[in-house]
Structure 1
Amino acid sequence: MSATPAGSAGAGDGVYRTGYFETRLAADPNRAVVWRHICDYLRRWIPADSDVLELGAGWCDFANAVAARSVTAMDLDATVLKAAHAGVTAIVGDCTDLSRFGDGSFDCVLASNLLEHLERADAERLLHEARRVLRPGGRLLLIQPNFRLNPKEYFDDYTHVAIYTDRSLTDLLTSLGWHVEHTFARFLPLTMKSRGSRLSFLVPWYLRSPIKPLAGQMLVVASNPAR
């Protein structure tokens, strides 16, 4: 949701703000609770003294919940400006262009449900830029719909333009020079909208359980090798 899709308007023209955010990503306080549980799980890869960048931050559910030295939330849509809590730096911009950040600016980059919205060239540009802005040994965390697990509902989101599976995403990252540390093919349900988000108290159990009914999203953890 961060790079301008082909044929769409730019940031602030309403492509995602008045369309996508209303139909697919409406404000939901239960989702923030879910993300607090997810952040607790992800802490093993995000030390508390990390400088963190979230790409495609949307409502800033991750950025507002993660414990870190500094947090920057970036999205093409201006929703990020009103959603970011105090202490989170919110930026409206194209996540495939990170030129505003110097080399080695961050310890962790996270993108959740982002790459599937980008054409391949844009996705590769984002992944190259993420490596550049990460310090050596810094980590990239990708939470993505896994097409292999739920092909029938994958394109219910009308802005999905690319297909990824746990295998294809791992291979893509490796081909671009990343060191893939972990690939969890089954991580979360495809969506936590409506009724599912109200069961947020079950999320810690779900994340720990080896059995994951209705799983539709994967988690890939990759690191930036020393050059």
Structure 2
Amino acid sequence: MTLDGARLTDLYRHRFGDEQEARTELWQVLCHDFFQRWVAPTDTVLDVAAGHCEFANAIVAERRIALDLNPAVREHAGPGVEAVVGRSDAVPLADGEVDTAFVSNFFEHVDRDTILATLVELRRVLRPGGRLLILQPNIRFCARDYWQFFDHVTPVDDRALAEALAATGFELQHCIPRFLPYTTKGRLPATPALVRLYLRVPVAWRVLGAQSFLVATTTASTPTTPDPEPGEREEP
């Protein structure tokens, strides 16, 4: 059984409870102090698996699109944000329509085939030289807690993501293996002031960071969806 829109709504209501206002404030800081440097004010931005639209609502761009399988995305999209109900591997946008795409905490929820198909689809909707920003729990640094969430199905780390990007027509430009903590439900008080301070002290990322951040750009060639190999990726 898969989680449809209604079940996703119930699951995330249980998971985040009354934390949403605090999460919104945190994302405003993250976008203003960090992510905005990769997004131009004239960009068309696509927030993939947008959820509560924290990124789409906070980022500054000429056009903002929030895509999610859950119809509740329409309720969460703020003023000026286009809410689109759809799949990440079948984005209802034209080729090259997007300047920057953002994917946060999504790939752990889907299988490898969907990850690859999503990357190929994002490669299609991004303009030549367009950017893909990925914020992703890195199982290398959060293996103990990675499976605490019921809907996590695929272990992902920064090295595997780099391989997937290369296989689907992207060129990796920037990778921070350890960036943000794994979850805001940890012991540290996740206040906007603390997040702002954390972003200014990269040495803290190497201690507390358990999510990786990657920036990739589209390459000239048009990829085809590769067949994923079975089993775990072996490291040298």
What TM-score comes out, normalization by structure 2 length?
Answer: 0.87
Give the Cα separation in 2 of the matches to 1:195 and 1:60.
Answer: 25
Indicate whether 1:93 and 2:86 are aligned.
yes
Instruction: Map residues 148-227 of structure 1 onto 2, 5 A cutoff.
Output: 148-193=140-185, 196=188, 198-211=190-203, 212=205, 213-227=207-221
Give the Cα separation in 1 of the matches to 2:124 and 2:65.
Answer: 16
Indicate whether 1:127 and 2:157 are aligned.
no
Q: What's the Cα RMSD here?
A: 1.6
Indicate whether 1:102 and 2:100 are aligned.
no
Which segments of 5 or more consecutive residues in structure 1 lack a partner in the other structure? Answer: 1-6
What TM-score comes out, normalization by structure 1 length?
Answer: 0.90
Indicate whether 1:69 and 2:62 are aligned.
yes
> Where has structure 1 moved over 4 Å in runs of 4 or more?
194-198
Indicate whether 1:143 and 2:128 are aligned.
no
Checking the alignment, whether the CA contact within 8 Å between 1:76 and 1:94 is kept in structure 2 is yes
Give the Cα separation in 2 of the matches to 1:180 and 1:9.
Answer: 32
Count matched residues.
217
Q: 2:14 aligns with which of 23, 26, 29?
A: 23
How far is 1:37 from its partner?
Answer: 1.4
After the TM superposition, which of the residue ranges 75-84 and 199-208 deviates more from structure 2? 199-208
Cα shift readout 1:2-51 (whole Å, capped 9, x = no counterpart): xxxxx22533xx22111x21232445111111111111211221111100
Indicate whether 1:43 and 2:43 are aligned.
no
Partner in structure 1 of residue 234 of structure 2? none
Checking the alignment, whether the CA contact within 8 Å between 1:34 and 1:197 is kept in structure 2 is no
Q: Which has the higher contact order (CA 8 A, sep 6+)?
A: 1
Cα shift readout 1:140-191 (whole Å, capped 9, x = no counterpart): 0010000001100001111111111111111211122210001101110101
Q: Percent identity?
A: 36
Cα shift readout 1:77-108 (whole Å, capped 9, x = no counterpart): 1221111111000112112211x211001000
Report the CA distance shift for 1:136/1:197 in structure 2 as closer, same or farther (over 3 A). Answer: farther
How far is 1:209 from its partner?
Answer: 1.5
Partner in structure 2 of residue 3 of structure 1? none
SS in 2 for 1:189: coil
Checking the alignment, whether the CA contact within 8 Å between 1:144 and 1:219 is kept in structure 2 is yes
Which segments of 5 or more consecutive residues in structure 2 lack a partner in the other structure? Answer: 222-236
Checking the alignment, whether the CA contact within 8 Å between 1:186 and 1:216 is kept in structure 2 is yes
Give the Cα separation in 2 of the matches to 1:201 and 1:52.
Answer: 27
| Equivalent AA in structure 2 for residue 15 of structure 1 | R
Checking the alignment, whether the CA contact within 8 Å between 1:30 and 1:197 is kept in structure 2 is no
